[in-house]
Amino acid sequence: MGEIKPALRNQIIMHKMNDKMKKIFIFFACLLGGQNIAGAQAGLIIQGAIQNSSGAPMPNGNYRLSFRLYESEAGGVAVWSETQPSVPVTSGLYTVSLGAVAPLTAPFDKIYYLGVSVNGGNELIPRARLSSSPYTMSLFGETNLFPSAGSVGIGTVTPDAGTQLHVAQEQGVGRVLIEGDNGAALRFKQGSNTADISYDGDKITVSNLNLTLTDGLNLQGSASVNYAGLKNWRLIDTDNFETGDDGWICVDDWTNNIPKTFQRFSPNTPFSQGYILRPNQHGNDALKKKYDLTDIPHTRIKVVFTYHFFETWSEGETGVAGFASQLNPYTSPAQSNGYFQIGWTDMQPVGFNFSGSGYVNFWPSNTTIADSNKRGEMIAQHTGNDFWLLFTSILDQDANDESFGISNIEIWVQ
């Protein structure tokens, strides 16, 4: 055997056997070999010397040595044990790696005592108290300090050189648990400045921390942002009709549910990004959709939209938008309250051509250009789980002569 370095000679224990007064000196090197001591492949190297009662080394040969770990110096039940059947002894010296037969399953988070027996004999006394090597002192001790330099790896033997702590999980999700009786907190410090992220069992609180978001902020539909005690508007839905009608339907009139045909087309103008929905038949046809706000906290609804005026609307002809809280929007004037509520009206803006007079009459000869449009907005108090949004018009011509369309629908809640 090579020379045992002084730094590894942490403890020397002498055991006496009653029968032949053999002496065993055990040098606990406690070498981990770069592996987690609590893992199945970890090993604890033990170097020992066996002498007879006169102090002479035991004869060369192979001996059966049994090892047990206890949490107490005497008595108790072993928390781990193994027997190595043939341990070479040369000049009274031997070296074994505990865990070579039975994996070391003890967590090594407390003091352990090692019991040793030779060739099936009685366990030698006193048990040897395991002490830490100069390297494992940083992981177990009264100060709880990590005096060594470099990165600390948990679940990895090659921690990232750019970190002080690297937690790795080969399969599944890597987790760091911070637990406390009254909550948990993560503190950041630079100089005398500190910032905390804390959890009280109900919510997470961020204090003294100016957040810089490099890729935006994503919130679930049920989440909200409060500013000075007030909730900001939250965008929860958009309808641009790029891939379909987005659940909208067309009816004969907003007072009934007689289905009518409608079309989706792209105007290809800088003022109408996306697609437009437009009734195909009479100008008074209505477009409507039911929105579901289940699990989305709200007390108010805001709808932002683009309303399109097609062809030459006469004086008094009007675009209309509103809300309805019921599936059947209207049955009689006495029942109108709580049903279809008008929230926005407007007439077609005055059109012009390059000569300065008249309307821009591209419809219906060129269906890819809208005559004019206007961005609208309406807000309603509403706490129910759903509502209907309706668009219609007051016109005296069929859609071939006069009609309306909608696009760029945004639903906001507060």
Give the DSSP letter string of 61-127: EEEEEEEEEESSSSSS--SEEEEEEEEEEBTTEEEEEETSSS-------S--EEEEEETT-PPPBSP
What domains can you pick out in the chain, each with its CATH number? 6-129 (2.60.40), 237-413 (2.60.120.200)
Helix, strand, coil in percent for the chain, rounding step 5: 0, 40, 60
Residues of the chain with pLDDT under 70: 1-42, 52-53, 109, 132-149, 209, 221-222, 224, 227-229, 268-273, 326-339, 349-371
pLDDT tens readout for residues 148-160:
567 888 888 788 8
> What is the spatial distance between Cα 147 and Cα 136, in angstroms, rounded to a whole number?
10
CB atoms within 10 A of CB 127: 22
Residues near 356 by Cβ (< 8 Å), separated by ≥ 6?
none
Contact in structure between 45 and 29 (CB atoms under 8 Å): yes
CB atoms within 10 A of CB 400: 14
Q: Which residue type does 78 have? A: A
> What is the spatial distance between Cα 290 and Cα 238, in angstroms, rounded to a whole number?
13
So what's the pLDDT on residue 350? 55
Tokens of 54: 């006169």
So what's the pLDDT on residue 208? 79
> What is the spatial distance between Cα 226 and Cα 124, in angstroms, rounded to a whole number?
70
So what's the pLDDT on residue 143? 54
* Cα-based distances in Å from 297 to 37, 219, 224, 231: 51, 13, 8, 10
